Amino acid sequence: MRPYNPPTDPYLDVVYSDAHLLVLDKPSGLLTVPGRDPAHRDSLASRAQKEYPDALIVHRLDMDTSGLVVMARGKEVHRALSTMFQNRQVEKSYLARVWGEPEGDEGEVDLPLICDWPNRPKQKVCFESGKPSLTRWQKLDSDGKTSLLKLIPVTGRSHQLRVHMQALDHPILGDPFYAHEEALAAALRLLLHAQELGFVHPVTGKAMKFLCNPGADFLV
């Protein structure tokens, strides 16, 4: 197991807050929720709850993924936001720096996924018992060796974007689970960032849209 040394500066990056919800920018290397191991208690959720005791997790990002996470303040808003995520009423997009250059300017990956149980938490493509999983991608730039993609997960399976990019033979740089040796060594962290999040505010009915740019390590 890798050592857990989550970043602490900033300790909690609040993008938006009101009486009903929070939108936070999670850094790479920080768990979304506490792990079972006492050494893994530090997390985005536990940090947020120190300042906002009523904050509840609605969805998660992998520890290595950075970007936008919404938390509900109170059980009623939690139910409403959870329903939006389940019904795919939340707009999400990610940025990823991948190995190589995909053919064409856009495409999609439609491959069923299931937990690779002997190697958990890894996931794998399985046509017999995998759950339907769909990712759309757009190429934003490329230097031939690596490419910057916009990824839109239509479904929300665990490690979906990471496994789908590996299946295209364009693994995400710095991915400790799915990148080959060269792609892993090409970045100091997983270059996957939840950049956009959009939904209808469950109390006010207002359309909310948030944009959070990644660090300079995503640039060519």
Q: Which residues are catalytic?
A: 62
The residue among 140, 153, 152 whose CA lies nearest residue 218 is 140
The residue among 12, 74, 75 whose CA lies nearest residue 43 is 12
Cβ(137)–Cβ(152) under 8 Å? yes
- Which are the contacts of 144, defined by CB distance < 8 A and separation ≥ 6? 101
User: How many CA atoms does the CB half-sphere of 186 hold within 13 Å?
Assistant: 21
Instruction: Return the C-alpha torsion angle 203, 26, 10, 146, nearest 10.
Output: -140
- Which are the contacts of 218, defined by CB distance < 8 A and separation ≥ 6? 95, 97, 148, 191, 193
Q: How far apart are CA 134 and CA 127, in angstroms?
A: 13
Residues pairing with 72 in the sheet: 21, 56
- Which are the contacts of 44, defined by CB distance < 8 A and separation ≥ 6? 12, 24, 26, 30, 31, 32, 33, 69
